[in-house]
Amino acid sequence: MQYLRAVVTRALAIQSWVERAERQVLLSDAVDLSELFHPDTFLNALRQETARSMGCSMDSLKFVASWKSPIAEAQLQVKVGGLQLEGCSFDGVRLSENQHDSPSVSAVPACYMAWIAQCSSGSYSPEEVISLPVYTSSERVSVVTHVTLPCGRNPDQWIQNGAALFLKQQ
């Protein structure tokens, strides 16, 4: 039953994606990757379209995320909402430890994701971020991608806390 519910939910969501695409407003609002059957394929299609519009190879691009503003270097980007975080908290500025009364899983603000040229700097310096996996579910079986989050100066702390992102459960 749970499987059928998930299929119906995604099928209805895809119908709304098609309607937005026909009106050419698909990427103007935040998208929820959990509404897709294969969110990794969507991100790869974004990579292909970016490479085509920039006139470069897909291998010359790198995946970046920005939690503060649209990505200036990006020709194509998508605002992604509906991500959830386990192992710590995130307020859109930096990671912080959970308190004793914090929920074990919390929603994070929407972020911008894009593919940019390898030589571009991105939104953050490498010293202030940690790359966390984005899983399809809280079971942490299938990885969609990795996303960088600002963390301060001690990235090992968040690995020890078991920090990871996953798509909103349907």
Of 45, 41, 40, which is closest to residue 58 (Cα–Cα)? 45
29 near 39, Cβ under 8 Å?
Answer: no
- The model's pTM is 0.88
Task: Give pLDDT tens digits for 103-155.
Answer: 889 999 999 999 999 998 877 888 889 999 999 999 999 999 999 999 877 88
What pLDDT is stored for residue 170 in this prediction? Answer: 59
Q: Quick one: DSSP state of residue 112?
A: E
CA distance 27 to 75: 13
The region, left, alpha or beta by phi > 0 then psi within -120 to 50, assigned to residue 87 is: left
Report the pLDDT averaged over residues 63-87.
94
